[in-house]
Structure 1
Amino acid sequence: MAALCESFTLCGLGPSGGVGLGGGLLALEPGPGPDHVLLTDRGRTATLFKVSDQKPLGCWSVKHGQILTCPVVCNFETYEYIAVHDDKVLRIWKNQDINLDKVFKATLSADVYRIHSVPSGGPVVLFRGGGVRTLDVLLEAPQQEIENIISDEVIKWSEALMEGEQPVLIFTTEKNGDFFVYVQKLKVNSLHRYKLEQQESSKPLNFTAYVNKQMITLLCLYSNNSVYKVLVPLKQNSEEEEQILSKSLLLNLSVSGRVLKGTSFVVLDKDHIAVLGRQAAPGKESKECLTIWNTKFQTLQTSKELPLGTSGQLWCYEEKFFFTHGKVLTVVMYKCETSSLAAAVGKLKDSQAPDMSSFVNWNTLGDEELVVSFQSQESVALKSESKMTLRSKRNTAAEVQPDNLSVGQLLLKLKDASPSVFEDGLRQIMSKAQMPDLQAISGCVVTALTNRCKANPKYYPKNFLLDIVQTHDLSYSLCPDLMPLALEKKDVYLLQLCLRRFPDIPEKITYACLKIFLGIREASLQDVDLDLDSVICYIDLDFNDKEVKTEIVENGFSAELEQEIWDTKITKQAHLTTDGEFCPVGPQKAALLNAVVRSAYSETFLLPHLKNLPSREALLFLRYLYYLYVKCSEKINTTLPGTHSPTISQILDWMCLILDAHFTVMVMLPEAKELLSNLHKFVRAQVRFYSELNKIEESLRELQRLSHQRDCQTYSIEVLELI
């Protein structure tokens, strides 16, 4: 999943912009620091900006009559800046240099197309004739002869990449409508030429590339509003003079009749690309916009209209987009999450959870009859003998029971047995089952138990069900009647285990668990055997039984109803946090609520159910989530101690869900006023705290950069003052 976040203006581009960028941008390159960018205008000026502060750190111009013909880049090894003006004149300078007419100058023998600088490979110079030199080699003899490789071809695009520790330069050329791809390995000085597969109705407009597993993936934006993928080998096995590279369609830039005519694009990660262009629809005025697309699922993730127009250029550094919008350079922050179907559908459990096991793969279970025979005892009774047999040809231990009876037949035989005989028979079935059928058979056994409980409301094998859930890798889909039965019986321990171990619980059931956990009285939980691992390290279990009376505010609610829902008795059973906030629930209820907070869910499906949660219970849950948030913030690592504890991200997600579902109610409830005020103060304090940390981080980075530039030959003591 991807989303566009806040945006801001970095600088003006007109004559009044204050940075001399009156002719538009030639290019934008990364600067010497993690928050720095270098802007080169279509004229005489290059400017270094600190993005977060939105201010220039340095500005350099060549003299009148000269023009920058190549984007200025930074040499990340020496922290020097490199530029080319008037096609052949090379300039190199440092931060403290002001007048470019007095810095290092070298006149080259051929026109320069572009200089590329990679962090660990050093600057690489690409000449218009296709010749390539590293900066070090070029400076040894600036007037050395540069070969003309591409003859009448014109370079359209180039990029420097790193294959391990070896720099690789890739560039594309065009001649008479044909496009060619060149790959230059610098250390071994090998050059390979390929021809791009032609397409009659369209031509490539823009390119981008990345390296992965001895292969360059070249992405091409074509004029037919599509993005194609071309695989370029780094190892040339044949001696063919011209190898044709085939392309495959990666993405079609159209949604619901609206077509995006892209002008430039960038790769965000292996599953996302960003495209800048003009969106058009039949009968409607076209609009320029910035879009993010998911290439795995072929979907448009997000879009931002740009009514003031753009230059068609797009750059991306450090999760920030840079593009011109009207007469300013705009920065838009973005975020990309791992692209997966699970992430697209709903929230996942913490991947580090120790109890997440592999679940049954239905594709390994053989015939459809096997799955059907596990659905219910009644359906099994209607099947023929041939359909009742489970993998009879394989003759596994799970299938061959005494008297050659299948699992379905054994369940039918045990249907009318006494409870003790019934449970012993089920245990025997599970003890003889083998993988991969064990999970499905366990689900079948649980279904048989729940069916018997429905038929006989007085029968409820609690310990047997707990043992199965604890020792077998089940899921909700294998035994869909188990959790509804536990809700009916108010078996909170079984519900806690299911919430921990089942990865596919419907949001309706999750909400039902939350409601029953919030509504149950603390006194009734004292004798319940629950797993307290998630709370034992941060909630005091040796609490005082002294009761504290609280005032009941009558605000349209009957006193009796409030007494029933709210309990009006809070036991002192938790340590105070640094903010003086006490845990509003006991350790037993806290352990149950933690199981809900850690469960998997989808916001889209859960939110409608949460809106039905009574206001008092919603407020209680929000108080508990706030308590957890404060406890997390007490530690540097922002994680709660103990096992099965919620993460700070899960806590914040649930706080947002409750506030979204009950925003109006929370604003109107007098009891919620203090909590909302505390939330506001606490979050504001956290923002200030992290803002100061960011300032310290930037100061330390600057000090580290300065220390690299100095070479102290003598012993010295320095006192650093951070203001």
Structure 2
Amino acid sequence: MCRERWRLANMAALCESFTLCGLGPSSGVGLDGGLLALEPGPDRDHVLLTDRGRTATLFKVSDQKPLGCWSAKHGQIITCPVVCNFETHEYIAVHDDKVLRIWKNTDVNLDKAFKATLSADVYRIHSLPKGGPVVLFKGGGVRTLDVLLEAPQQEIENIISDEVIKWSEAFMERQQPVLIFATEKNGDSFVYVQKLKMNNLHKYKLEQQELSKALSFTAYIKNQIITLLCLSSNDCVYKFLIPLQQNMEEEEQILPRSLLLNLSVSGSVLKGTSFVVLDKDHIAVLGSLATAGEESKECLTIWNTKFQTLQTSKELPLGTSGQIWCYEKKFFFTHGKVLTVVIYKCETSSLAAAVGKLKDSQAPDVSSFVDWNNLGDEELVISFQSQQSVALKPESGMTDASTTVFENELRQVMSKGQMPDFQATIGCVVTAIINRCKANPKYYPRNFLLQIVENQDLSYSLCPDLMVVALEKKDLHLLQICLQRFPDIPEEITYACLKAFLSISDAYLQRIDLNLESVICYLDIELNNKEVKTEIVENGFSTELEQDIWETKITKKLHVTGDSESCPVGPQKAALLNAILHSSYSETFLLPHLKNLPAQQAVLFLRYLYYLYVKCSEKITTTLPGTCPPTVNQIMDWLCLLLDAHFSVMVMLPEAKELLSKLHKFVRAQVRFYSELNKIEGSLQELQRLNHQKDPHTYSVEVLELI
């Protein structure tokens, strides 16, 4: 029991640390008042450091060495952190508040780089990986860089008057840049949210506690809702929810706050100076830990917001500047006269993760779902106004106007999520809507249902008829999202979705809007147009080909790099099949349904699984690129399932025989390849053992030959 408690309590840890660079005149990086900022560089292993002076430096973190350094000339001060334009691989900075500079990695002299003088003072530039750089001015005006460069002297509006910007951040949400920034005036804090493409600006006032002051902000965006976190001077972290979808314009809204974390433990209080979000359950706070009767100590801490516990801490006796940054599972902060990097790790904060019962890291957090035993009658659970309650009943004559009012009101409620049994309530709402769809076939609010499923942590059990109706309506996008998000879909429904996906033609799918993030990074659509080689090499290993009727066909289709023939399905169908691969299932219950899959559809699915398997095997990591692609374990599990269900049929089908032969040869080649790797591993282990027996002070040069 004690060991299990330790596992539950220690879901985050600080690992090894190292010095990235020195800070001071000799290093070229200033220390006075800390760094101006640390921003991501053009590569995942690169960071850009801007000091509070004239210098910006690009570092390669793993090698702990600078790759480039640029300085403004004497008399100029860099006033805006240098950022990288990820689309052009150029660097952007502002010195003396209004002078914009753009240069490339090969440029040495910053004074000779592109220069543009702007009409207003710049507060910060945010660079988005898929949205380009966004410029925020001190008066609250916002411009994209390309718009700004068309007319650098264009007039910039003053939105915030006598307020002062304290913090800002930018996100991409549904391919749209969104900028959020916080201001302060007379002790009050305000937040502005700007949608750039729609030129839509909303202002909010933050609810605050008396005698407390906002010290630091951070935010993240998910499902059209911005979660803003505020570190307050009363040693607490507060959370504010800001919905991006606003249906009415208001002069100023007051955002209610909720307590996320109290920074105290066992009589000690952490006086935080800055913090960052690590995941949905963990934050890191930099500050001074004060205990009664003892001198306060500066330290780096990781807190679990779900269990309200301090996970781990690291003392920093040399002091810090009070700043912390987090990129690629690494903390960056000043410690004494150096910039220190600390690697960390966080585990999923759930009992299922602690006992090792989660299927994989992509499965939804089961702890976020409600207790179904507490669900009451539908009309008792839904606590909306009478107009919405009437609108939900299938037999009511609901007009378009009342439907719009109901949907708008429900969106407002969903953005807050404060009511008891909130998910149960939304599940009952969806069930009531589906009941009306079944009673009135002409009524089907597709976009509204899609928004609910995307934005809420629902499950199949909370709205069991949703996927059934979606199958009847051929709403493939909704089915795709349900398969990705629902953790408890019955195997019968999973099979029904698979059969529907395989039976629909690619021509029909091309007209449907689907999420293709899981396929766009590896799907080789134009492979048929490439030159075909005649040599077969798999994983860098030449295979012995048997002299049979299929050998010639396979050799002609495989590339020298190991690539297979083109994908047997289009990108839309591939994305739908990937959603099937991600779904949870039990072999015992799924196998009887798979046996009913038509033979031609089974062959098509097997061809796609084979294509994925070959793609996975091209890389040493055996992982596909992109967002949430299928894992090699998922692909292998479904391959085995499909062969178990249809092996006798596959053997008899002429079009399946070639596929089975290729699959057999590819697997056999891989077995040989990994067998050779095991031999090399054994040889290296033996060499390591022999080296330990030698005198470490003896210098020698040896030539080793592996046979």
TM-score (norm 1): 0.50
Aligned to 2:239: 229
Q: Quick check: 1:6 aligned with 2:16?
A: yes
Compute the displacement of 1:23 (Å). Answer: 6.5
Aligned to 1:171: 181
Report Cα offsets for 1:656-702 as digits up to 9, x if no partner: xxxxxxxxxxxxxxxxxxxxx989948979xxxxxxxxxxxxxxxxx
Aligned to 1:340: 350
Equivalence map 1:300-699=2 (5 Å): 300-344=310-354, 346-348=355-357, 681=685
Compute the displacement of 1:239 (Å). Answer: 2.7
In structure 2, C-alpha distance between the alignment counterparts of 1:27 and 1:362, rounded to whole Å: 45
In structure 2, C-alpha distance between the alignment counterparts of 1:15 and 1:129, rounded to whole Å: 34
Aligned to 1:82: 92
Letter in 1 for 2:184: E
Report Cα offsets for 1:249-296 as digits up to 9, x if no partner: 001111111111110000111111111111001111110111111111
Given the superposition, is the C-alpha separation of residues 317 and 363 from structure 1 closer, same or farther in structure 2, using an over 3 Å criterion? closer
Letter in 2 for 1:204: A
Letter in 1 for 2:339: L
Contact 1:274 1:292 in 2 (8 A): yes
Aligned to 2:191: 181
In structure 1, C-alpha distance between the alignment counterparts of 2:371 and 2:198, rounded to whole Å: 52
Q: SS state of the match for residue 284, structure 1?
A: coil
Compute the displacement of 1:236 (Å). Answer: 1.9
Letter in 2 for 1:255: V
Contact 1:23 1:41 in 2 (8 A): no
Given the superposition, is the C-alpha separation of residues 89 and 636 from structure 1 closer, same or farther in structure 2, using an over 3 Å criterion? closer
Letter in 2 for 1:229: K
In structure 2, C-alpha distance between the alignment counterparts of 1:245 and 1:139, rounded to whole Å: 36
In structure 2, C-alpha distance between the alignment counterparts of 1:682 and 1:170, rounded to whole Å: 58
Q: Quick check: 1:288 aligned with 2:298?
A: yes
Report Cα offsets for 1:120-169 as digits up to 9, x if no partner: 01000000000000000100000011110000000010000111200100
Q: SS state of the match for residue 101, structure 1?
A: helix
Compute the displacement of 1:349 (Å). Answer: 7.2
In structure 2, C-alpha distance between the alignment counterparts of 1:184 and 1:682, rounded to whole Å: 62
Q: SS state of the match for residue 258, structure 2?
A: strand
Aligned to 1:145: 155
Given the superposition, is the C-alpha separation of residues 684 and 342 from structure 1 closer, same or farther in structure 2, using an over 3 Å criterion? farther
Q: Quick check: 1:29 aligned with 2:39?
A: yes
Equivalence map 1:58-207=2 (5 Å): 58-207=68-217
Aligned to 1:707: none
Give unpaired runs (5+ residues) of structure 1: 353-360, 366-634, 644-676, 686-723
Q: SS state of the match for residue 58, structure 1?
A: strand
Contact 2:138 2:165 in 1 (8 A): yes
Q: SS state of the match for residue 202, structure 2?
A: strand
Given the superposition, is the C-alpha separation of residues 81 and 184 from structure 1 closer, same or farther in structure 2, using an over 3 Å criterion? same
Compute the displacement of 1:299 (Å). Answer: 1.1
Aligned to 2:289: 279
Letter in 2 for 1:226: C
Contact 1:107 1:142 in 2 (8 A): yes
Aligned to 1:256: 266
Q: SS state of the match for residue 150, structure 1?
A: coil
In structure 2, C-alpha distance between the alignment counterparts of 1:233 and 1:187, rounded to whole Å: 17
Given the superposition, is the C-alpha separation of residues 349 and 29 from structure 1 closer, same or farther in structure 2, using an over 3 Å criterion? closer
Letter in 1 for 2:98: K
In structure 1, C-alpha distance between the alignment counterparts of 2:340 and 2:687, rounded to whole Å: 28
Compute the displacement of 1:198 (Å). Answer: 2.5
In structure 1, C-alpha distance between the alignment counterparts of 2:211 and 2:358, rounded to whole Å: 48
Given the superposition, is the C-alpha separation of residues 362 and 279 from structure 1 closer, same or farther in structure 2, using an over 3 Å criterion? closer
Report Cα offsets for 1:236-256 as digits up to 9, x if no partner: 223321110000000111111
Aligned to 2:492: none
Given the superposition, is the C-alpha separation of residues 158 and 683 from structure 1 closer, same or farther in structure 2, using an over 3 Å criterion? farther
Aligned to 2:594: none
Contact 1:21 1:45 in 2 (8 A): no
In structure 2, C-alpha distance between the alignment counterparts of 1:135 and 1:17, rounded to whole Å: 32
Aligned to 1:219: 229
Report Cα offsets for 1:443-463 as digits up to 9, x if no partner: xxxxxxxxxxxxxxxxxxxxx
Q: SS state of the match for residue 285, structure 1?
A: coil
Compute the displacement of 1:363 (Å). Answer: 8.8
Q: SS state of the match for residue 138, structure 1?
A: helix
Given the superposition, is the C-alpha separation of residues 228 and 362 from structure 1 closer, same or farther in structure 2, using an over 3 Å criterion? closer
Q: Which has the larger radius of gyration?
A: 1
Compute the displacement of 1:338 (Å). Answer: 1.3
Aligned to 2:586: none
Contact 2:86 2:128 in 1 (8 A): yes
Compute the displacement of 1:214 (Å). Answer: 1.4
Contact 1:109 1:146 in 2 (8 A): yes
Contact 1:23 1:43 in 2 (8 A): no
In structure 1, C-alpha distance between the alignment counterparts of 2:13 and 2:37, rounded to whole Å: 25
Equivalent of 1:266 in 268, 276, 289: 276
Compute the displacement of 1:106 (Å). Answer: 0.5
Give unpaired runs (5+ residues) of structure 2: 1-10, 362-369, 375-619, 624-631, 638-680, 690-707
Letter in 1 for 2:157: E
In structure 1, C-alpha distance between the alignment counterparts of 2:200 and 2:81, rounded to whole Å: 26
In structure 2, C-alpha distance between the alignment counterparts of 1:147 and 1:682, rounded to whole Å: 71
Aligned to 2:662: none
Letter in 2 for 1:231: L
Letter in 2 for 1:268: L
Letter in 1 for 2:21: C
Contact 2:119 2:155 in 1 (8 A): yes
Aligned to 1:54: 64
Given the superposition, is the C-alpha separation of residues 282 and 186 from structure 1 closer, same or farther in structure 2, using an over 3 Å criterion? same
Contact 1:69 1:84 in 2 (8 A): yes
Contact 2:97 2:122 in 1 (8 A): yes
Q: SS state of the match for residue 139, structure 1?
A: helix
Identity of aligned residues (%): 80
Aligned to 1:17: 27
Aligned to 1:404: none
Q: SS state of the match for residue 295, structure 2?
A: strand
Compute the displacement of 1:334 (Å). Answer: 0.7
Contact 1:12 1:21 in 2 (8 A): no
Given the superposition, is the C-alpha separation of residues 67 and 18 from structure 1 closer, same or farther in structure 2, using an over 3 Å criterion? closer
Given the superposition, is the C-alpha separation of residues 156 and 636 from structure 1 closer, same or farther in structure 2, using an over 3 Å criterion? closer
Letter in 2 for 1:4: L
Compute the displacement of 1:309 (Å). Answer: 0.5
Aligned to 1:242: 252
Letter in 1 for 2:332: F
Letter in 1 for 2:219: A
Q: SS state of the match for residue 167, structure 2?
A: strand
In structure 2, C-alpha distance between the alignment counterparts of 1:55 and 1:22, rounded to whole Å: 22
Contact 1:319 1:333 in 2 (8 A): yes
In structure 2, C-alpha distance between the alignment counterparts of 1:272 and 1:182, rounded to whole Å: 25
